Amino acid sequence: MTSALLDSLRKGNRLALSRVLSQVENGTEAGLTALDELFLETGTAQKIGITGPPGSGKSTLVNALARELRQRQPDKKVAIIAVDPSSPFTGGALLGDRVRMLDLQDDKQIFIRSMASRGALGGLAEQTEALSQVFDAAGYGFILIETVGAGQSEVDVVNLAHTTIVVDTPGTGDDIQSIKAGILEIADILVVNKADRPGADQSVTHLRNMVEMGYARSINNGKHHLEDFQENSEHKTTSAHWVPPILKTVACEFTGIQELTDAILTHAAHLRQSGQWHAKDQAAIRANIRHQLIAGLLSDFNQNVPVEMIDSLIEQAQKRAISPNEAVRVLLTYNRNNSLESSE
């Protein structure tokens, strides 16, 4: 079924696209095969991450942005991946981001896909990157990725987006909040949404102070904050020159959206000129492989090592007969020996 489905996807059939997205999201055999093929056709889309606390207006902002991007560049299709959390208890999810995106329903060049996080903790779902690759291969020029409502450390989106927008609202904290490590550090563009509310200018000031401190530091050290997240050495030398703009928006009234769109397009141009577009792409692939490798190793481990053995070692540690450290060493040794035997 896969090759016929992929052919229709390439011809722009949206039902085929939707079906492939499901296969990939569910990690089926067909989905994995499709992705192997489609990945080779990726690399052209601009991926834009939108993150921020719950209720800060991410979905409404995405709605406004998608419309503006379509007007500016009518030849480019826009994909939206909107991630909402799954219940840790039932595994169910209520995906409500479409409610804020009703302005986009008439435009067939916009494709909105809701995703449940399915237990992943970094603000995205396990397969969000894979879905973005499908959209990329299907010829979507802009891919907007909206994270779950993020707190301080759900920063996975930075590993896959070219441009990361962090959305905040007035009155969410003092200047100490804004110099803490975490989510604010990953921003290429900072947005104070709901800027018609009191305290917007103060929020902008806090953020500006933070950005300026960071910028001064990066000049002094010749370093940039992103290197904490990305191990690619190319990235370090080229990333110091973009200072995140701080923009005020009222997304539900489309106020400030022009300026935000300008910033996104300028950032893309900056990335291309400075060579960072390529560097980010390379870093994303590296991070993706490492991530999948860890997941794969864990799954191998679970296959190689009997649950009873794990439980018994846990029990011994609980009785303080051995240390947790030793339990882990025993398990890893068993796993290594066992996988060697099975491959011989």
Partner 1 sequence: MTEKKIRVLIAKPGLDGHDRGAKVVARALRDDGMEVIYTGLRQTPEMIAEAALQEDVDVVGLSILSGAHNALVPQVIADLRANGQTDVVLFLGGIIPEDDIQTLLEQGVYKIYGPGTDTREVCKDIREAVKSKA
Site residues (vs partner 1, CB under 8 A): 14-15, 18-19, 21-22, 25-28, 86-87, 90-96, 98-99, 102, 105, 111-114, 116, 118, 126
Which residue number, 99 or 332, has a Cβ lying nearer to partner 1? 99
Which residue number, 127 or 164, has a Cβ lying nearer to partner 1? 127
Q: How far is the CB of 243 from partner 1 (least distance, A)?
A: 37
Q: How far is the CB of 244 from partner 1 (least distance, A)?
A: 32
- Non-local CB neighbours of 138 within 8 Å, separated by 6+ positions: 9, 10, 12, 17, 38, 79
Q: What is the dihedral of CA 236, 260, 158, 41, to 10 degrees?
A: -100
Tell me the three state secondary structure of residue 15. Answer: helix
Sheet with 163-168, side-by-side order of all strands: 110-116, 77-84, 140-146, 46-51, 163-168, 189-192, 246-248
Q: How far is CA 187 from the centre of its chain?
A: 12
Which residue number, 107 or 196, has a Cβ lying nearer to partner 1? 107
Q: Is residue 71 a contact partner of residue 108, using CB atoms and an 8 Å limit? A: no
Q: How far is the CB of 127 from partner 1 (least distance, A)?
A: 8
| β-strand pairing of 163-168 with 77-84 | unpaired
Q: What is the dihedral of CA 188, 194, 196, 198, to 10 degrees?
A: -90
Which residue number, 98 or 223, has a Cβ lying nearer to partner 1? 98
Q: Is residue 206 a contact partner of residue 178, using CB atoms and an 8 Å limit? A: yes
Which residue number, 19 or 280, has a Cβ lying nearer to partner 1? 19
Which residue number, 18 or 318, has a Cβ lying nearer to partner 1? 18
Q: How far is the CB of 13 from partner 1 (least distance, A)?
A: 9
Q: How far is the CB of 66 from partner 1 (least distance, A)?
A: 13
Q: Is residue 179 a contact partner of residue 148, using CB atoms and an 8 Å limit? A: no
Which residue number, 22 or 338, has a Cβ lying nearer to partner 1? 22
Q: How far is the CB of 249 from partner 1 (least distance, A)?
A: 22
Q: Which two tokens stand for residue 140?
A: 């979507």
Burial pattern 307-331, b for ≥16 Cβ within 10 A else e, equals eeebeebeebbeeeeeeeeebeebb
Phi, psi angle pair for 342, to nearest 5°: -70, -25
Q: How far is the CB of 68 from partner 1 (least distance, A)?
A: 20
Which residue number, 86 or 159, has a Cβ lying nearer to partner 1? 86
Which residue number, 14 or 217, has a Cβ lying nearer to partner 1? 14
Rounded Cα distance, 197 and 199, in Å: 6
Q: Is residue 251 a contact partner of residue 196, using CB atoms and an 8 Å limit? A: no
Q: How far is the CB of 179 from partner 1 (least distance, A)?
A: 38
Q: How far is the CB of 19 from partner 1 (least distance, A)?
A: 6
Q: Which two tokens stand for residue 219?
A: 């000049």
Q: Which two tokens stand for residue 221?
A: 């050290």
